[in-house]
Amino acid sequence: MEAIRLLKQARAYARFALGLPSFLRNPISLADAEQIVRHGVERREDNFLRLVERGVLRFPSSPYARLLKLARCEIGGLREMVRARGLERTLRALREAGVYLTFDEMKGREPVVRHGESFAIGAADLSNPLLKASYEGESGGSTGAGVRVSHDLDHLAVQSAHLMLLYHAHGVLHAPHALWRGVLPDGSGLNNVLRGARHGRLPVRWFVPMRPGDSKPALRFRAVTYGAVLAGRMFGSPIPWPELVPIGEALVIARWAAEIVKEHGACQLNAPVSRALRVCVAARDAGIDLSGAVFVVAGEPPSPAKVAGIHASGARCFATYGFVEAGRVAIGCVNPSSSNDLHVLHDAFEVFSYDRRAPGVHDTVTALNVTSLLLATPQILINAEVDDYGVVEDRSCGCPLDRLGYRRHVRDIYSYRKLTGEGVTLVGGEMIEIMERALPARFGGSPLDYQLMEEEDEQGFTRISLIVSPRVAIPSEAAVVEAVMNELHASSVMADSARGIWAQAGTMRVKRMEPVWTGRGKLMPLHLVRRASANSGTGAAEARR
Ligand SMILES: [Zn+2]
């Protein structure tokens, strides 16, 4: 089995290496990008029907084919409904008829039960069967074996169009840019580099947030990363080699940004929001003015505190929102109404909100419900719940993205279940396993003596507090943090990436207090703690002390 898996991977990488040169040789223009988007916005209903017909109904084992069958929905009826009611109302009706997937169902952690039937979803069942595989990134969710997702070069082309228009709207399309992102299995670095190449806009530097001694990614991941850089360089795209800049050395990047602004009038840096904040704090401490620097932040909610910290350095920032299964779903508005206001990429996705009880909290959230429309989507999503909530509204903001036909906004997006620190996301399951099994086994007590809470410190940095009941005798707080880090190291390759970043940033700390269970679960994501606190005025406020 292992040999077959490796063969399959080798074949995917070979295809990737063969496809890359032509991908790099044919950058698209701004006019092409606008054309791609306008066409997609006009044809979104037809595109959805085409994806269902070709990518779902022709594959009877597809989970969506099964759900549609159980709901007695055929393509003829679906076509009629879309024509008569439009896409959103059709999708809402499908949802009522059981055609949707929860996050746990998609991850294979819960069986899908509808209309008296039940089935499980495997890791590959949601991958788009129409794609030619290229290279692989490991899903940010580190549950189970980690979902492997094939990224297709066509998909990168559509994403390039979205990004070009976004950068153009924010006035940084021609500013030199760098990124401070990891190497595979964290796909965000290589993905960003390739998208840049697609529109003839390569980063000038690729900073990697690792220390020289950090655990190295597996050989095959390194081989793909360096192979792609080498292939690009051989075919005329001078892709920068990754350079290690540990999280504690953000000043290196602040100095780089200031220098580029001095020379070119502007610069752009792509990083998770807390890494961007680190650069801004380092700049302020060193008396460096970052006016003219623009941060493109993703991977973590840009909370008001973090955005205020970035603005205080003179820099600007805007966000993008997406997930590995679908790619980028929304991009930052130029006239935002809050610290986190984005336009839904209406040509590629239908997004609406759906009231849902958040697990472990006495609260209803407006959960985001996402449907992919384009044939090149890495995973097919029909009414997929992604464990994030936010405010969805149609609004004319007057910005250049609005003029492309992107009327739908989604703002104030937060997770109701995931914990994100320093741009690395861990889906709850892995941490719950550590708190329920590993920590009681090592330090004593029961699962009820341990709890996690996400908080923001005075500067806006996210801290993940591990609450340990004072009744448990621990040798030292550092010993508990070390035990968690070791468990993450052993748990999965993505959890190990999280360990590396969190250890550098000091993201995790121990708090000695009784866990607070009233109405809450084992994990308390930041904004639900705040909501609960605002609603009740008691429990959570106590927990935050
Ligand atoms: Zn806008």
The Å distance, Cα 333 to ligand 1 centre, comes to 4
The Å distance, Cα 152 to ligand 1 centre, comes to 28
Residue 273 to residue 540: CA distance in whole angstroms = 25
The Å distance, Cα 321 to ligand 1 centre, comes to 14
The Å distance, Cα 293 to ligand 1 centre, comes to 20
The Å distance, Cα 339 to ligand 1 centre, comes to 13
Task: Express each pLDDT in 60-100 by its tens digit.
Answer: 989 999 999 999 999 999 999 999 999 999 999 999 999 99
pLDDT of residue 519: 46
187 closest CA partner among 16, 381, 344: 16
With a cut of 60, say whether residue 8 has pLDDT above it. no
Contact residues for 253 (Cβ-Cβ < 8 A; gap 6+): 178, 180, 207, 245, 269, 279, 282
Residue 231 to residue 486: CA distance in whole angstroms = 36
Confidence of residue 143 (pLDDT cuts 50, 70, 90): very low
The Å distance, Cα 432 to ligand 1 centre, comes to 39
With a cut of 80, say whether residue 418 has pLDDT above it. no
The Å distance, Cα 86 to ligand 1 centre, comes to 24
189 closest CA partner among 243, 247, 129: 243
With a cut of 50, say whether residue 136 has pLDDT above it. no
Question: Cβ distance 462 to 468 under 8 Å?
Answer: no
pLDDT of residue 187: 74
The Å distance, Cα 62 to ligand 1 centre, comes to 36
The answer to which of 219-233, 376-390, 438-452 has the lowest mean pLDDT is 219-233
The answer to which of 11-15, 226-230, 281-285, 308-312 has the lowest mean pLDDT is 11-15
Across residues 236-253, what is the average pLDDT? 89
540 closest CA partner among 488, 484, 467: 467
With a cut of 90, say whether residue 224 has pLDDT above it. no
pLDDT of residue 40: 93
pLDDT of residue 45: 97
pLDDT of residue 526: 52
Question: Cβ distance 279 to 269 under 8 Å?
Answer: yes
The Å distance, Cα 266 to ligand 1 centre, comes to 21
Q: In terms of DSSP H, where are the helices of 86-152?
A: 87-96, 103-106
The Å distance, Cα 358 to ligand 1 centre, comes to 29
Question: Cβ distance 225 to 260 under 8 Å?
Answer: no
pLDDT of residue 116: 93
Contact residues for 487 (Cβ-Cβ < 8 A; gap 6+): 434, 438
Residue 511 to residue 508: CA distance in whole angstroms = 10
Contact residues for 160 (Cβ-Cβ < 8 A; gap 6+): 28, 33, 195, 198, 199
Contact residues for 391 (Cβ-Cβ < 8 A; gap 6+): 353, 366, 410, 411, 412
The Å distance, Cα 402 to ligand 1 centre, comes to 5
Task: Express each pLDDT in 469-490 by its tens digit.
Answer: 998 999 998 899 888 888 887 7
Q: Which residues surround ligand 1, an ion (CB under 5 A)?
A: 333, 397, 399, 401-402
The Å distance, Cα 319 to ligand 1 centre, comes to 12
Q: What is the mean pLDDT of the chain?
A: 81
The Å distance, Cα 335 to ligand 1 centre, comes to 5
State which H helix or E strand residue 441 sits in: helix 439-443
371 closest CA partner among 112, 107, 35, 56: 56
The Å distance, Cα 408 to ligand 1 centre, comes to 9
With a cut of 50, say whether residue 149 has pLDDT above it. no
The Å distance, Cα 398 to ligand 1 centre, comes to 6
pLDDT of residue 429: 62
The Å distance, Cα 165 to ligand 1 centre, comes to 12
The residue ranking higher by pLDDT, 413 or 504, is 413
The Å distance, Cα 397 to ligand 1 centre, comes to 5
Task: Express each pLDDT in 486-539 by its tens digit.
Answer: 888 777 666 777 777 777 777 888 989 887 754 445 556 555 555 544 444 333
The residue ranking higher by pLDDT, 225 or 268, is 268
The Å distance, Cα 395 to ligand 1 centre, comes to 9
Confidence of residue 344 (pLDDT cuts 50, 70, 90): very high
The Å distance, Cα 200 to ligand 1 centre, comes to 25
The Å distance, Cα 411 to ligand 1 centre, comes to 11
- Highest mean predicted confidence (pLDDT) among 213-227, 249-263, 320-334, 455-469: 249-263
The Å distance, Cα 404 to ligand 1 centre, comes to 10
The Å distance, Cα 406 to ligand 1 centre, comes to 8
Residue 14 to residue 133: CA distance in whole angstroms = 10
The Å distance, Cα 48 to ligand 1 centre, comes to 25
Residue 341 to residue 319: CA distance in whole angstroms = 8
pTM over 0.85: no
The Å distance, Cα 478 to ligand 1 centre, comes to 46
The Å distance, Cα 158 to ligand 1 centre, comes to 20
Residue 23 to residue 13: CA distance in whole angstroms = 15
pLDDT of residue 20: 58
Confidence of residue 293 (pLDDT cuts 50, 70, 90): very high
